[in-house]
Amino acid sequence: MIAIILFGKPGAGKGTQAQFLKEKYNLTHISTGDVFRYNLKNGTDLGKQAKVYIDKGELVPDEITIDMLADEVEKNMDKAGFLFDGFPRTIMQAEALEKLLAEKKIAFVGTIGLDADDDVLVARILERGKTSGRSDDQDEEKIRNRYIEYNEKTAPLIAYYEQKGKYTSVNGMGTIEEITQRLSNAIDVLV
Length of the chain: 191
Say whether 144 is catalytic.
no
Is residue 68 pLDDT above 80, yes or no?
yes
Residue 155's pLDDT is 87
Interacting residues of 120 by C-beta distance below 8 A, sequence separation 6+: 173
Q: What is the DSSP letter of 80?
A: S
Q: Pick the catalytic residue: 9, 14, 124, 182?
A: 14
Binding residues: 11-16, 32, 37, 58-60, 86-89, 93, 128, 134, 146, 174
Residue 135 has pLDDT above 80, yes or no: no
Q: Which of 99, 134, 153, 164 is catalytic?
A: 134
What CA–CA distance (Å, rounded) separates 185 from 170?
10
Which residue would you say has higher pLDDT here, 86 or 41?
A: 41
pLDDT digits (tens, 9 = 90+) for 5-54: 999 988 899 989 999 999 999 999 999 888 988 999 999 999 999 988 88
Q: Which of 9, 22, 146, 182 is catalytic?
A: 146
For residue 124, indicate whether it is catalytic.
no
Question: In sequence order, what are the beta bridge partners of 2?
Answer: 81, 107
d(Cα 161, Cα 64) in Å, to the nearest integer? 23
What mean pLDDT do residues 141-169 have?
90
Spot the catalytic one: 9, 89, 124, 166.
89
Active site residue 14: yes
* % of residues, the chain, pLDDT over 90: 61
- Binding-site residues for AMP sit at 32, 37, 58-60, 86-89, 93, 134, 146
Tell me the domains of the chain and their CATH numbers: 2-181 (3.40.50.300)
* From 51, 79, 128, 142, the catalytic residue: 128
CA distances to 34, 57, 94, 122 from 16, rounded to whole Å, are: 14, 28, 23, 16
Q: How far apart are CA 51 and CA 31, in angstroms?
A: 18
Which residue ranges are tagged as binding site for ATP?
Answer: 11-16, 128, 174
pLDDT at 4: 96
3-class secondary structure per residue, 7-37? EECCCCCHHHHHHHHHHHHCEEEEEHHHHHH
- At 115, the pLDDT band (50, 70, 90 cuts) reads very high
Provide mean pLDDT across the span 87-105: 93
Residue 67: band (very low, low, confident or very high) from pLDDT cuts 50, 70, 90: very high
3-state secondary structure of 64: helix
Across 79-102, average pLDDT: 92
Section 107-128 average pLDDT: 92
Which of 19-23, 93-97, 139-143 is the least confident region? 139-143
